[in-house]
C-alpha cells in the first residue's frame, strides 16, 4: 500500500522568511496530493492540492510542486506570517484509493 | 450546507463503557471516513465507506464498528472502551468529481479513564 513520509517534523522560521515542507510517496498509482493545515484544537483544512498531470500550482503565498519521477512533492510558503503557525499534513491518494497522510510538520513562525 | 457535523464534541468514558460517535454530512458525498488523531500525531484511518451499505476496515479498526444505512450518516461505535482509545476522532466526507476533495468534521475529543 501507499506510504507517505514527511520532513521536517518541526520547522521554525522568522516572520517574512520562506518555509518548505517535503513529502515522498511510494505508490505510483497515486495521482492526487492535497495539503492540510491544522491549527491547535481545530480540524484539518485543505489549503492547496495538486494532481499528477500538473508540476506546480500556486495560490497567493503558497505553492506546491510535484516530481512524479522521484515521487515527491513539496509545500512552499513565502513571506511567512505568525498566522501560518500550525501543523501541516501532506497526503497522497486518488480515485478509488483512500488518502494516506504524512505524520505532519509543526511550523512555527517567529515574530 | 452544514458540511460535516459530529457529535458530541467532548466525552469522557470509563473503561468498559460503550458509545456511538455521530457523523453526518449534507453534501451527498458517497465516500465517508473515520480517523483518529492521537496527541501530536498524524491521522490514522479507522473505517471508511464508499456508499450506503458498504463499509470497510482501515488501518486501525480493532475496537470499533461502523454502519452506513444512509448516504448522510456514518456513526462509529466503540465497544468496551479502553484507555488506548483516548484520542480525537475526525469524520470526513469526500467528493471525487470534479475535484478529489476531503472535508473534515470538527472532531470529537474522547477520554477513556
- For B44-59, the pLDDT digits (tens) are 999 999 999 999 999 8
List, in order, residues 6 or more apart from B105 with CB less than 8 Å away: A43, B3, B4, B5, B6, B23, B25, B90, B91, B92
- The minimal CB distance from A102 to the residues B42, B58, B102 is found for B42
Return the pLDDT at B44: 93
Nearest to A89 among B43, B99, B106 (CB): B43
Cross-chain Cβ contact B106/A46 below 8 Å: no
What are the cell numbers at B82? Answer: 479502553
- Substitution target in B33, B44, B102 with the highest count of A β-carbons within 10 Å is B102
Question: pLDDT, tens digit, for every residue of B56-96?
Answer: 999 899 999 999 999 999 999 999 999 999 999 999 999 87
- Shortest alpha-carbon distance between residue A17 and chain B (Å): 25
Is B42 in Cβ contact with A98 (below 8 Å)?
no
In tens, the pLDDT along A68-78 reads 999 999 999 99
Q: Is the pLDDT of residue A15 over 80?
A: yes
Q: How far apart are CA B43 and CA B87, in angstroms?
A: 11
Contact (CB<8Å) B102/A89: no
Per-chain mean pLDDT for chain A:
94
Residues ≥6 apart with Cβ < 8 Å to A96 = none
Mean pLDDT computed over A87-106? 91
Q: Under an 8 A CB cutoff, do A43 and B106 touch? A: yes
Q: Do B104 and A44 touch (CB under 8 A)?
A: yes
- pLDDT the model gives residue A1: 82
pLDDT of residue A54: 86
Q: Does the beta-carbon distance from A95 to B90 stay under 8 Å?
A: no
Of the residues A29, A33, A36, A43, the best mutation for testing chain B's interface (the one with the most B CB atoms within 10 Å of its CB) is: A43
Is the alpha carbon torsion for A38, A43, A48, A49 positive or negative?
positive
**Is the bond preceding residue B8 a cis peptide, omega within 30 degrees?**
yes
What mean pLDDT is predicted for residues A43-70? 94
Phi, psi of B66 (to 5 degrees): -135, 165
What pLDDT is attached to residue B95? 81
**Does the pLDDT at position B99 exceed 80?**
no
Residue A53 banded pLDDT, cuts 50, 70, 90: confident
Amino acid at each position: 500500500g501507499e506510504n507517505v513520509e514527511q520532513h521536517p517534523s518541526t520547522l521554525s522560521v522568522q516572520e517574512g522568511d520562506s518555509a518548505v515542507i517535503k513529502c515522498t510517496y511510494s505508490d505510483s498509482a497515486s495521482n492526487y496530493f492535497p495539503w492540510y493545515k491544522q491549527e491547535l484544537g481545530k480540524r484539518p483544512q485543505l489549503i492547496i492540492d495538486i494532481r499528477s498531470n500538473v508540476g506546480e500550482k500556486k495560490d497567493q503565498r503558497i505553492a506546491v510542486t510535484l516530481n512524479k519521477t522521484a515521487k515527491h512533492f513539496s509545500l512552499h510558503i513565502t513571506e511567512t506570517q505568525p498566522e501560518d503557525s500550525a501543523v501541516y499534513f501532506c497526503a497522497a491518494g486518488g480515485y478509488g484509493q483512500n488518502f494516506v497522510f504524512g505524520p505532519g510538520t509543526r511550523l512555527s513562525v517567529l515574530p | 450546507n452544514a458540511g460535516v457535523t459530529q457529535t458530541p464534541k467532548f466525552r469522557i468514558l470509563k473503561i468498559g463503557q460503550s458509545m456511538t460517535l455521530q457523523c453526518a454530512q449534507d453534501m451527498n458525498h458517497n465516500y465517508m471516513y473515520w480517523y483518529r488523531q492521537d496527541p501530536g500525531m498524524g491521522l490514522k484511518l479507522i473505517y471508511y465507506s464508499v456508499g450506503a451499505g458498504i463499509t470497510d476496515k482501515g488501518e486501525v479498526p480493532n475496537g470499533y464498528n461502523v454502519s452506513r444505512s444512509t448516504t448522510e450518516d456514518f456513526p462509529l461505535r466503540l465497544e468496551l472502551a479502553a484507555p488506548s482509545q483516548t484520542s480525537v476522532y475526525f469524520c470526513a466526507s469526500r467528493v471525487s468529481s470534479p475535484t478529489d476533495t476531503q472535508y473534515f468534521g470538527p472532531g470529537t475529543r474522547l477520554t477513556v479513564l
